[in-house]
């Protein structure tokens, strides 16, 4: 069994350490210890994307995650050989539809009330377009658009129901104390967000 301790580490370090351990571990069981739910969920999602079936248990405020590596095909664990579940990077570049990167809950500087109105109008307008974005990423104050009380929840749900992938930064939800108010999209991490941005043909920053 290979064990790694990721307690006290900020995003994306727990996922990156798990990735390195997965590449180096030749066989057997991988055990990861974290001390918060965001890191737990990020690692579980990462391992699930590798077609593993991780399990976890809580003990004294820590989360112990285990994964049986025997399900991986021989040779799949060598460094640099593990591909994402969606295929090799060169085959995964998103073509055509843009990815929106939203790091604020308002558009522009100046009057905050006007900025909030402009953002609301922008999200609403997106739902009326024939071509929808591939994904929308919310970070920093942008995550406020995905929580309870947001004026654009209905519009974002419409986008999500129409196949738009919505990623919400888990670290940002924690920072603003809004994790319990999160309403839609996938609570994500810097590793997954960076991966999506790097394979995107077009990124539009708001």
**Residue 177 to residues 38, 130, 141, 144, 201: CA-CA distances in angstroms?**
13, 36, 12, 10, 33
156: helix, coil or strand? helix
Q: What is the pLDDT of residue 36?
A: 86
Q: What is the pLDDT of residue 50?
A: 81
If one looks up domain 99-205 in CATH, what number appears? Answer: 3.40.1260.10
Q: What is the pLDDT of residue 95?
A: 59
pLDDT in tens, the chain (206 residues): 888 999 998 888 888 898 888 888 767 888 999 998 888 888 888 888 888 889 999 988 899 999 888 766 554 443 343 344 334 434 445 557 899 999 999 999 889 999 999 999 999 999 998 899 999 999 999 999 999 999 999 999 999 999 999 999 988 999 999 989 999 999 988 988 998 999 998 999 98
Q: Would you say the CATH fold of 99-205 matches that of 2-83?
A: no
Enter the tokens of residue 137: 């990423």
Q: What is the pLDDT of residue 94?
A: 55
Q: What is the pLDDT of residue 203?
A: 93
Other C-beta atoms closer than 10 Å to the C-beta of 39 total 28
Alpha helix positions (H), the chain: 13-24, 37-49, 112-127, 153-161, 170-175, 190-199
Q: What is the pLDDT of residue 80?
A: 41
Q: What is the pLDDT of residue 93?
A: 53
List the domain boundaries for the chain.
2-83, 99-205
If one looks up domain 2-83 in CATH, what number appears? Answer: 3.30.110.40
pTM tops 0.85, yes or no: no
């Amino acid at each position: 069994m290979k064990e790694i301790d990721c307690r006290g580490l900020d995003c994306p370090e727990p996922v990156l350490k798990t990735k390195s351990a997965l590449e180096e571990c030749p066989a057997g069981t991988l055990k990861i210890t974290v001390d918060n739910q965001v890191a737990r969920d990020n690692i579980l999602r990462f391992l699930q994307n590798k077609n593993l079936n991780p399990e976890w248990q809580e003990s004294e405020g820590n989360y112990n995650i285990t994964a049986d590596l025997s399900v991986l095909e021989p040779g799949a664990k060598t460094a640099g050989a593990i591909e994402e579940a969606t295929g090799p990077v060169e085959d995964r570049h998103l073509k055509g539809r843009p990815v929106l990167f939203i790091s604020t809950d308002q558009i522009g500087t100046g009057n905050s009330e006007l900025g909030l109105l402009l953002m609301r109008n922008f999200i609403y307008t997106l739902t009326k377009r024939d071509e929808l974005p591939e994904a929308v990423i919310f970070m920093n104050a942008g995550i406020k658009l995905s929580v309870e009380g947001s004026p654009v929840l209905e519009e974002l749900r419409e986008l999500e129901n129409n196949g738009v992938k919505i990623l919400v930064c888990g670290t940002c939800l924690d920072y603003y104390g809004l994790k319990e108010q999160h309403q839609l999209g996938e609570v994500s991490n810097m590793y997954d967000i960076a991966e999506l941005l790097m394979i995107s043909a077009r990124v539009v920053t708001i």
